Amino acid sequence: MASKSSTSPAFLFSVILALVVGIHGGGITIYWGQNGGEGTLADTCASGNYNIVNLAFLTIFGNGQTPAMNLAGHCNPSDGGCTGLSSEIKSCQASGVKVMLSIGGASGSYNLTSADDARQVATYLWDNFLGGQSTSRPLGDAVLDGIDFDIESGTTQHWDELATSLSANSSSEKKVYLTAAPQCPYPDAWVGGALQTGLFDYVWVQFYNNPSCEYSSGDMSNLINAWNQWTSISAGQIFLGLPASPEAANNGFIPASNLTSNVLPAIKGSAKYGGVMLWSKFYDNGYSSSIKESV
């Protein structure tokens, strides 16, 4: 004779809650490339801390300019010195880490002057970093997973056409992922229009250097208000963008204990929660390791 189950409603609720949290579990995205002292790309991926790595940055493009990449102290793309990264990119991808090219950045010379200019930039990116063909691929023959829009100057126009042109290259064999790093005041002044296309897979919102929407001294209200606005957009997943240490930004750093015990539990219930983005690998001296089990 079977005994009567003693499973309590509270226990069942905890199991269901754990499953829901698991469904919305996220990953960590990191920016790599702006400091020669941050270690190799291969080691970054092999750490097991990151799901996506953004190679930063393609700093010159558009408006008839010859595109140029800046990888700080790692290598010089202009003389072919970065083609050796191809094997490291492939190693990252083989271990399940997506590798994106981030275009723009806080400093550089980039500007789109027309829809045709946007299409020309898209063609350049496809041929030189994605699935196209070129005799001068700065990173060798590795095929990156997509393009990250970190647009912080230049123009507010034609980023939607760039996104549309890039997305048109996606196929059943190889998807072109589109990501963006807008500032947290909503809507973003630069890529707000592009995000309305609904083509972006991941959006890591910069919740730093923007006091009006940051976590501050235990007060989450500004951050939560901004988070709720961002999770209303038509995009795949939204990430909480943070500095990896207090030195990585003017403000906006959240101690790991506060992040894992207060902030993440408050935002992980969103169906669009994707995880945490960190700036940058150079400043990540244990922060990602301390939060990854909670992300």
Tens digit of pLDDT for each residue in 271-287? 999 999 999 999 999 99
Report which DSSP code applies to 36: G
Residue 10 has pLDDT above 70, yes or no: no
Residue 148 has pLDDT above 80, yes or no: yes
8 Å CB contact between 62 and 121:
yes
- Of the residues 152, 161, 214, 293, which is catalytic? 152
Contacts of 171 (CB under 8 A, 6+ apart): none
Average pLDDT of the residues in 252-261: 98
Residue 246 has pLDDT above 80, yes or no: yes
The Cα–Cα gap between 49 and 27 comes to 8
Contacts of 169 (CB under 8 A, 6+ apart): 122, 126, 130, 131, 132, 176
Report which DSSP code applies to 202: E
Tens digit of pLDDT for each residue in 187-205? 999 999 999 999 999 999 9
Q: What is the pLDDT of residue 7?
A: 43
Q: How many whole angstroms from its chain centre is CA 116?
A: 26
Per-residue confidence band for 232, with pLDDT thresholds at 50, 70 and 90: very high
Secondary structure class of 187 (helix, strand, coil):
coil
Report which DSSP code applies to 67: P
Question: Catalytic site residue 152?
Answer: yes
Q: What is the pLDDT of residue 8?
A: 43
Tokens of 56: 């930063």
Tens digit of pLDDT for each residue in 15-73? 343 444 444 589 999 999 999 999 999 999 999 999 999 999 999 999 999 999 999 99
pTM above the 0.95 mark? no
Report which DSSP code applies to 259: I
Q: What is the pLDDT of residue 25?
A: 84
* Unique residue bearing structure tokens 């023959």: 141
The Cα–Cα gap between 51 and 277 comes to 10
Q: What is the pLDDT of residue 24?
A: 57
Which phi and psi (to 5°) does residue 241 adopt?
-85, 125
Q: What is the pLDDT of residue 14?
A: 37
Average pLDDT of the residues in 130-136: 96
8 Å CB contact between 144 and 179:
no
Which phi and psi (to 5°) does residue 12 adopt?
-60, -40
The pLDDT mean for the chain works out to 93
Residue 185 has pLDDT above 60, yes or no: yes
